[in-house]
Structure 1
Amino acid sequence: MTTVLVWIVEGTWPACVDAVRAHAPDGADITLLHVTPADVPGAAHGAFAGLLGRGHGAHDPGTRLEQLAAASADRLLADAAERLGRSCTRRELTGRAEREVVTAAESADLLVLARDGDRTHLGPHSLGPAGRFIVDHAPCPVLLVWPETAPGIVTVPPPSHPPSPHR
């Protein structure tokens, strides 16, 4: 059975889900993956502890941020599952997105993700740091999709060196 991992990110997930609907074989084992960064709640926990000391955990803003992030991830995954319209697993992780996605893709036959950089031009800058890391380190084939219509071919950067006349 084909296993497909889909990285679900705010703003680009519909294109990923649509690509799975179009390209994943019937009966594929599909996992929708969302990764919540740990750094924001962690910073809030640290700031709270540093400013007010220990023992005030009930009012720690980091806890509230974790709850809000979990609720947002649940909603995003539910929306993606509904749009997919077929059986799937929803998985939520916390950590560095690029590393969590690569690790999760270890047992996948296909990883689907959307471009996360400059989407106004064709070329390498259409991948942000997280997307570039994932594409470079994925242990399986990758289906890289444009979140919206791809820019025209005229947006390809010019060559860095003029072509040699002796070719």
Structure 2
Amino acid sequence: MAVIVWIAEGTWPACVDAARTHAPEGAEVVLLHVIDEDIPGAAHGAFAGLLGRGRPDRDPGARLEHLAAESAEALLQGAAERFGRACVRLERTGRVEREVVAVADGANLLILARDGDRTRLGPRSLGPATRFVVDHAPCPVLLIWPHAAPGIATMAPPPR
């Protein structure tokens, strides 16, 4: 059995806790973190277009790539320690939602957390990347609340 756990800033502890609960002993558990390629890319572009022609050594995009890799490594290390069992740490770079779906191909379970509006029930509790993953996942999905779920009174009223 292969279980993929999407490790994202702000929600990863709840995902790791869910994996400890739902991944059977002996399952291959993959802790996945994806670095969004757009952030360093925007810095590279801004620097090249506005500031840095002829000065590639001062490109802030390279520094952002390095910081993102360090942050991903720290998140994955913390997640592995919290999980407390053997697991695989996987770091990818690209379009976050597409990388998560690609890694989930062939998995038995994908664990991820709601990352949108956490004050009410409903579709806005999912951010755009999470919505894409839920809609396109090629395997069963365990979607969790990173904190206690809001009460049912927060649900929108029915349409007229």
**TM-score, length-normalised on structure 2?**
0.96
The size of the alignment, in residue pairs, is 159
Cα RMSD, aligned residues only: 0.9
Question: Aligned to 1:82, what secondary structure does the other structure show?
Answer: helix
CA deviation after TM superposition for structure 1 residue 80, in Å: 0.3
2:148 counterpart residue number = 149
Alignment of 1:49-88 (within 5 A): 49-50=48-49, 51-54=51-54, 56-88=55-87
- Where does the alignment leave 5 or more consecutive residues of structure 1 unmatched? 162-167
> How much does 1:46 deviate?
1.5
- Corresponding position of 2:28: 29
8 Å contact from structure 2 (residues 44, 61) kept in 1: yes
| Cα offset, 1:158, TM superposition | 1.1
> Take 2:10 and 2:97, find their aligned partners in 1: how far apart are those partners?
17
Deviating 4+ runs (over 4 angstroms): none
List gaps (5 residues or longer) in structure 2.
Answer: none
Using the TM superposition, give the Cα deviation of residue 47 of structure 1 relative to its aligned residue in structure 2, in angstroms.
Answer: 1.8
Question: Residues of 1 paired with 2:34 and 2:52: CA distance?
Answer: 30
Residues 122-159 of structure 1 deviation map (CA, whole Å, 9 limit, x = unaligned) = 11111111111100000000000000000111111111
Listed as ranges, the matches of 1:17-166 within 5 Å are 17-50=16-49, 51-54=51-54, 56-161=55-160
The one-letter amino acid of 1:43's match is A
**1:52 CA displacement:** 2.3
Sequence identity, in percent? 67
- Deviation at 1:57? 2.2
